Amino acid sequence: MTGSRKPEVVTAPLSLSLDAYRHVRSQSQALASSLSDADATVQSMEDASPAKWHLAHTTWFFETFVLVPSAQDYAVFHPAYNFLFNSYYEAVGERHARPQRGMLTRPTLDEICAYRAHVDAAMARLFDGGLDDDLRPLIELGLHHEQQHQELLLTDILHMFAQNPLRPAFRAPQPLAVPSHRSAALDWFAYEGGVVEIGAGGDGFAFDCEGPRHSVFLRPFELASRAATNGEWLSFMKAGGYDEPSYWLSDGLAVARARGWCAPLYWFEKDGAWWSMTLRGPQPVDLEAPVAHVSFYEADAFARYAGARLPSEAEWEVAARDQPVEGNFSVHGYLRPRPQNSGTDAPCGLYGDVWEWTHSAYSAYPGFAPAEGAVGEYNGKFMSGQMVLRGGSCATPAGHMRPSYRNFFHPDKRWQFSGLRLARDLAKDDV
């Protein structure tokens, strides 16, 4: 968490090396180390994937895009794995249907671990022999792709365990204590707007959808000093926020009514108090922490209730680009959002804790062109019907985040650590 004290861990972005490769790969293994074969096989909904599949798919990426075309005498681990663990790459061939990933009782988790070891050994030999210049960006892409799946692995496990009446914990329930400090009082930071540049600037890794860097015009605006909290969300609920049509987009209200939404995902009442299912098992809702597991539709309705709006992704990036990329990421081990509190010179908690919904539709930046070949399908094919989120979450790997990073989900999705930060328009004279 960005606050008055430094976070316990600050991790720099990846730099490509065999050690970096092994570090990322070992992190995935560590996340799955406590899972049984049954835990790793279940698919709790179509949007989620089994842990076993995440471990295999990220391995398939290196086998398919790096080793098979470039490593001499590489032996494919199993000829069926290209079909089983391809995700959406049409150019690579047919694939197992996504809704049926949970039917793969075989291969076992042990066999998937053997697959990972086989590919990792071949990758080590490739590194030792010296990497061609055209391989380096592809391997770097594969590592960042695996970090994305590390977060998805956590959010998918949480969703799976939340369906279990026993509500098992992924990690031991500690730390249980609610932090002694409270969230900062809500304040606002003004920005003058004008013509600004956003997008990846060419230094360091970025996904293709983060560029090209380009100019946008912003009207004067102000951004909330922190993310919206569980306590503020509870006030929204008590005020009838889920039932008031004036707060909701028409599509959002229809979805909320059809699905019976009356609280964030994973909230439940116990002995007159609100609790939430977390990766550390059931926990009392921390009223001071950022609200999580709300859809774009809910976030937009809350903003209207609060007399504000969601920021655009350009507004968010302008506010975040000069701030250190520090926060409550997965490496800290809390695995849940924490209260946000910091000094008075800039908004706090822009990175980590919760992904922050924006009102920006996910679409191509001006001048965008997908990468050549099959990897060009990675982002370009999804630019329809989704909304952009920024900043990362408590499940995001440290070193994976940057100001230009664009996450995206359909507006009804709730199983990610998704929250919001309010924004408001300003008159020019108010800046």
User: pLDDT tens digit string along 32-64?
Assistant: 999 999 999 999 999 999 999 999 999 999 999
Q: Residue 45: its pLDDT value, please?
A: 98
Apex CA 295: angle with CA 103 and CA 230, to 5°? 115
**Beta-sheet strand order (sheet of 418-419):** 407-409, 387-390, 355-361, 418-419
What type of residue is 51?
A: A
Q: Residue 319: its pLDDT value, please?
A: 97
Q: Kindly provide the residue ranges of all beta strands, DSSP E only, lying in 220-272, ordered along the sequence.
A: 221-224, 267-270
**Inter-CA distances, 235 with 159, 340, 429, Å:** 26, 19, 32
Closest CA to 104 of 45, 38, 162, 167: 38
Residues 360-375 as b or e (16 or more Cβ within 10 Å = b): bebeebeebebbeeeb
**Inter-CA distances, 409 with 42, 152, 384, 415, 424, Å:** 22, 12, 10, 10, 23
Tell me the two tokens of residue 77.
């681990």
Q: Residue 224: its pLDDT value, please?
A: 97
357: β partners? 389
Do 217 and 25 contact (CB within 8 A), yes or no?
no
269: β partners? 274
Q: What is the pLDDT of residues 236-269, one digit of tens each?
A: 999 999 999 999 999 999 999 999 999 999 999 9
Q: Residue 50: its pLDDT value, please?
A: 98
Give the sign of the dihedral formed by CA 76, CA 79, CA 84, CA 88. positive
| Alpha-carbon gap, residue 354 to 416, rounded angstroms | 9
Tell me the two tokens of residue 365.
């930046």
| Pair type for strands 267-270 and 273-278 | antiparallel
Q: Residue 3: its pLDDT value, please?
A: 32
What type of residue is 3?
A: G
Do 291 and 229 contact (CB within 8 A), yes or no?
yes
| Alpha-carbon gap, residue 263 to 267, rounded angstroms | 6
Give the sign of the dihedral formed by CA 140, CA 323, CA 156, CA 419. negative
| Alpha-carbon gap, residue 161 to 415, rounded angstroms | 12
Closest CA to 159 of 42, 58, 299, 334: 42
| Alpha-carbon gap, residue 82 to 425, rounded angstroms | 50
The domains found in the chain, sorted by start residue, are 18-162 (1.20.120), 188-430 (3.90.1580.10)
What does pTM read for this prediction? Answer: 0.94
Q: Residue 175: its pLDDT value, please?
A: 56
Q: Residue 91: its pLDDT value, please?
A: 87
Which residues of the chain have a pLDDT value below 50? 1-11, 176
Tell me the two tokens of residue 425.
């328009």
What type of residue is 142?
A: G
280: β partners? none
| Alpha-carbon gap, residue 379 to 189, rounded angstroms | 33
328: β partners? 352
